[in-house]
Amino acid sequence: MIKMSGLLFYMHDGPKAFRFELSGNLSGVEVGKLDQAWRTASSTFDGKALAVDITFLTGSDESGRQLLRRWSRAGARVVANSRESRLLAESVTGQPYASSDHAVGQTFEPRFTSSAFRAAVAALIFTATLLFPATASAERFVDKGGEKSDEASAVLERYSAALSDRGLDTATVNFEIEASLPGLQKRARIEAIRRWTDGKREYQFVTIEGDRLVRNEMIARYFAIDTEKAPLAAPITKSNYRFRLVTNTGTVSVFQITPRRKRKGMIAGELWIDNQTGLVTHLAGRLVKSPSMMLRQIGISQEMEIRHGATLARETHLQIDTRFTGRAELTIRERARGVEAEVVKNVAP
């Protein structure tokens, strides 16, 4: 949903139609902002039926009627399912109102949970699931042309071998997820225990607190996707990415990673690899392709805690700049249960 003074609207991108639904008063500066939103969204129309639903408009000035008239002449269907909105539609088109076809879809009163916010949240959660790819088979990272140093190649060989270890993804972990909409001053947090059972993740919830909207629209959606769908990310391997050594600190090698092809879920940024174990200690960058036109940019960072050759904990941060609903943030913390004590026990003299 977008609220502009006396105007509310949301965009619905359906399989056959792209529909704007308006509520309130279409007048003044809101007219120009709405027109800009339409122009921004037009990149996703792709041959779909276009519609503007004015059923819940309560008024419009001349500039608003001119905007609707221009959209109508450009081929958009004007949907009006109330007496007042039909009169407005007829004054705009200059013709008796005719009901819209089935491709346009049903009318819903614009409200926050049925808005552009939902599209942004869906993309946010989709992005979160992209960060945990399925097990990657080992790949050799030795370049035939010898462009990488022997030391860098050795680090990448160890990294390749470490990819076959699912680590935290299949361990029993203490899990915490925080989600927030800073512009709306809304946030929520959930603590849980995550277990790997019969090839999928299961959660036992411990603490649930914070804003209901954020819990239902952000966090609950994450759990639904995480438990029902297989991971979608392409693993960070040589077949999917180019690796360029930036620096070697002696304990960690820093590589710049660039996707070979721009696909959803691919990241451009830096990957820090522990020289001894081949385990990742840090990942930072941005998605090279947005999963939704609602999103401008998606920033990603991950920090991993490595102890005695194993990944003990991982913290993931997502920050998304949406076009219409401000910034959305998601933080995911995972720490293996009982692993720290077991590791200490195994290395004790």
Mean pLDDT of the chain: 77
155-177 average pLDDT score: 85
pLDDT at 111: 42
- pLDDT, residue 258, reads 94
pLDDT of residue 9: 73
Residue pair 300/94 in contact (Cβ under 8 Å)? The answer is no
- Whether residue 256 has pLDDT greater than 60: yes
120: left (phi over 0), alpha (psi -120 to 50) or beta: alpha
Sheet holding 7-13, edge to edge: 2-4, 7-13, 17-26, 49-60, 77-79
**For 38-42, what is the mean pLDDT?**
74
**Is the pLDDT confidence value at 100 over 50?**
yes
**155 pLDDT higher than 60:** yes
Other beta carbons within 10 Å of 39: 9
- Confidence band for 268, pLDDT divided at 50, 70 and 90: very high
Do you know the residue count of the chain? 349
179 CB-near residues (< 8 Å, 6+ apart): 187, 188, 189, 214, 215, 218, 219, 222, 328, 329, 330, 331
**Any idea which residue has 């070697």 for tokens?**
248
Residue spans of the domains in the chain: they are: 2-112, 118-347
Residue 164 or residue 140, greater confidence: 164
Please determine, looking at this structure, whether the domain spanning 2-112 carries the CATH number 3.30.750.24.
yes
- d(C-alpha 255, C-alpha 248), whole Å: 9
Which pLDDT score, from 0 to 100, does residue 175 have? Answer: 93
Pick from 11-20, 226-235, 334-343: least confident = 226-235
Q: What confidence tens digit (pLDDT) does each residue in 282-338 have?
A: 999 988 877 666 667 788 899 999 888 888 999 999 888 766 566 788 899 999 987
Per the listing, tokens 């092809």 go with 261
Residue 155 tokens, joined: 């680090």
